[in-house]
Structure formats: C-alpha cells, structure tokens
Amino acid sequence: MGGNVSLFPVPGAPGQVGFDREELGRILDLYGRMVAAGLWRDYAMDLGRDAAVFSAFRRATERPEYRIEKRPALRRKQGQWALVGEGGAVLKRGHELSGVLAPLERKLVRVVD
C-alpha cells in the first residue's frame, strides 16, 4: 500500500500563501451569489509562494473572468489584495478585501435589480 501523502498547507508556514477562513468565506459567499445569478459556473484556487489566487469562470473551458489575488509582499505598498480582469488588467487594488470585492458586489446588485 504505497502512495504519496501531501500535507494540507499550514497557515503562516513559510513558502506558501493562502486564504484564512474569514477571507475564503467572504470570497465563497460572493461566488455562491454569482453562481445563483447565473454569472459564474466554476472556480479554481492556486496557492503559491508569492500569491494565493481565486479564479472565477463563466465557463470551465475559458480564461477566468476575474481573479482575486492576495500578495502579502505588497501589504505595505499598494495593498495585498487585487481584482484582476479577464485580460490581466488590475481593476482594483487595496489593503482590504471588502474594498477590492466592491466592483463585483455592484455588478451583482445590477444583475439582481
């Protein structure tokens, strides 16, 4: 019975950036509402050395419509959070996740109205 065991990343461990429970809860709440509105259908997460990225897709076979990025190295500069559009342009950057998610929240309100 052989196999490789991969440990789940430990928060604060060097070498990997991740989302904490509150951040992930906030992102997944928005994702769920966007799915319910018919705007998103799939998501992916990438936890790397420099950044944690949550990508939201309209369809699973295309590029992500939006990426929510957490880059702790930029915490003291322009802010660790960024909202990146489909073309790769940074649409919003900031120190607080709620401010970076605001454009998506506004988009959702327009769809529901």
Mean per-residue pLDDT, 18-27? 94
Band of the pLDDT at 98, cuts 50, 70, 90?
very high
Distances (CA, A) of 28 to 40, 58, 68, 78: 12, 15, 11, 24
Domain map (residue ranges) of the chain: 19-110
Judge whether 41 and 35 are in contact, CB under 8 Å. yes
The CA-CA-CA angle for residues 59, 47, 23, to 5°, reads: 80
User: Which pTM does this prediction carry?
Assistant: 0.81
Position with higher pLDDT, 84 vs 13: 84
DSSP state of 7: P
**Whole-angstrom distance, CA of residue 55 vs CA of residue 44:** 5
If you average pLDDT over residues 13-39, what whole number do you get? 90
For 33-89, the pLDDT digits (tens) are 999 999 999 999 999 999 999 999 987 667 899 999 999 988 899 899 999 998 899
Cα(52)–Cα(46) distance, integer angstroms: 6
